[in-house]
Amino acid sequence: MIKWILLAFAVCTFSGLTGQTCTPWFPFEEGIEFEYTFYSKKDKESSRTYYTVDQVSKSGNNYQADITATMHLRKGEPQVLSFTVSCSNGIYTADLSDFMNPSFKESFGESEITITGSELQIPANLSTGQTLPDAETKMEAQVGPIKMKILMEVTNRKVGNKVSISTPVKSFDCYELTSRERVKVPLFDRTYNVTHYYAAGYGQVKSEYYDKKGNLDSYMLLTAFKK
């Protein structure tokens, strides 16, 4: 499953927070904590990812936030990683490789990793029918005689209609944001059609993952928020 490889393309909105003027698409305020929970199509919990905003720096209309994410699977030790997201002139950006489960990065060992691609971007203003830029990350490393390759893609990104979504936090009026998300690693290549739901003041509150036949495979909900 993509969710076991990625901690989540978690781009979360908390607009209206004190001092936040660059973007509504991420909580650039120290101390914010929020949680996403993944479920199977049969509503069985499979994992949780808990985020904390550790430090925020600001220069003019540019923001940078240091984030810690902890992923709890049903089995095994929690996976922890730290990464940075930024906002410049109203555009939120994040590197897809930063959302990768640490166990997959460890498969490269001590080898030098080459990373290329484009960052995930979300502009400050969304509207129905809008098309958003694609994002892609390619990672390569020579591990002994084997060349290891990892590919992550988010394509066909479009803003859809407004709908009502219920979560354990509360009910939201949301924009739909659809995309095609692919992760390719050794012995694994999976593509999903994904619908993310964004609420004003909270951002990504639900995501639905569909297989190539259009059947729901799994989904993610915003299950906690604390500031």
Phi then psi dihedrals of residue 30, to 5 deg: -60, 140
Res. 4: pLDDT tops 70: no
Report the Cα 186 to chain-centroid distance in Å: 22
Distance of CA 209 to CAs 6, 48, 206, Å?
13, 16, 10
- pTM summary value: 0.80
> Tens digit of pLDDT for each residue in 136-160?
988 888 777 778 788 889 999 999 9
| Cα gap 67→175, rounded to integer Å | 25
Res. 78: pLDDT tops 80: yes
Within 10 Å of residue 29's Cβ, how many Cβ atoms?
Answer: 16
The DSSP output letter for 12 is B
Report the Cα 96 to chain-centroid distance in Å: 8
| Cα gap 63→80, rounded to integer Å | 23
> Tens digit of pLDDT for each residue in 87-133?
888 888 888 877 766 666 666 666 777 888 888 888 888 899 999 99
DSSP three-state, residue 89: coil
For residues 75-88, average pLDDT: 84
Within 10 Å of residue 24's Cβ, how many Cβ atoms?
Answer: 24
Tell which CATH architecture fits domain 2-226.
Beta Barrel (2.40)
Residues 5 and 101 sit within 8 Å (Cβ to Cβ):
yes
Residue 38 has which token pair?
């993944």
Torsion angle, alpha carbons of 118, 123, 129, 133, to 10: -10
